[in-house]
Structure 1
Amino acid sequence: MPEEWRRSVLVPIFKNKGDVQSCSNYRGIKLMSHTMKLWERVVEPRLTKVVEICEQQYGFIPRKSTTDAIFALRILMEKYRDGQRELHCVFVDLEKAYDGVPREELWYCMRQSGVAEKYVRVVQDMYERSRTVVRCAVGQTEEFKVEVGLHQGSALSPFLFAIVMDQLSEEVRQESPWTMMFADDIVQDSGETGHAVWFRDSVTEEETGVRARGSRAENVEVLFGSDKIGQD
Structure 2
Amino acid sequence: LAAVIPDIVSDTQSAFVANRNILDGPFILNEIINWCKRKNKQALIFKVDFAKAYDSVRWDYLLDVLIAFGFGPNWCKWIRGIFSPAMASILVNGSPTFEFPFYCGLKQGDPLAPFLFILIMESLHISVSKAVNEGVFKGLSIHGSDPISHLFYANDAVFIG
TM-score in same-fold range (> 0.5): yes
How much does 1:72 deviate?
Answer: 1.1
Rg: which structure is higher?
A: 1
Residue 181 (str. 1) matches residue 145 (str. 2) = no
C-alpha change, 1:104 and 1:47, in structure 2 (3 Å) is farther
Inter-partner Cα distance in structure 2 for 1:137 and 1:154:
29
Report the equivalent of 2:39: 83
Is 1:69 aligned to 2:40, yes or no?
A: no
Of structures 1 and 2, the one with the larger relative CO (CA 8 A, separation 6+) is 2
Q: CA deviation at 1:103?
A: 1.4
- In structure 2, which of residues 51, 61, 82 is the aligned counterpart of residue 95 of structure 1? 51
Q: TM-score, normalised by structure 1?
A: 0.54
The letter of the residue matching 1:75 is E
TM-score by length of 2: 0.75
Q: Say how many residue pairs are matched.
A: 146
SS at match of 1:169: helix
- Provide the alpha-carbon RMSD of the alignment: 2.6
After superposition, residues 194-205 of structure 1 pair within 5 angstroms as none
2:54 and 2:117 in contact (8 A); partners too: yes
Change (3 A) 1:153 1:137: farther
AA at the equivalent of 2:74? K
**For 1:139 and 1:87, how far apart are their aligned partners in 2?**
54
Which one has a larger percent strand, Structure 1 or Structure 2? 1
Output one character per residue of 1:28-48: Cα deviation in whole Å (capped at 9) or x when no partner.
xxxxxxxxxxxxxxxx34653
Matched residue SS, 1:170: helix
CA displacement at 1:157 relative to structure 2: 1.2
Question: Identity over the aligned pairs, expressed in percent?
Answer: 22
**Structure 1 residues not aligned, in runs of 5+:** 1-43, 191-232
Distance 2:43 2:60 in 1: 37
Give the Cα separation in 2 of the matches to 1:164 and 1:189. Answer: 20
Structure 1 contact 109–167 (Cα < 8 Å) conserved: yes
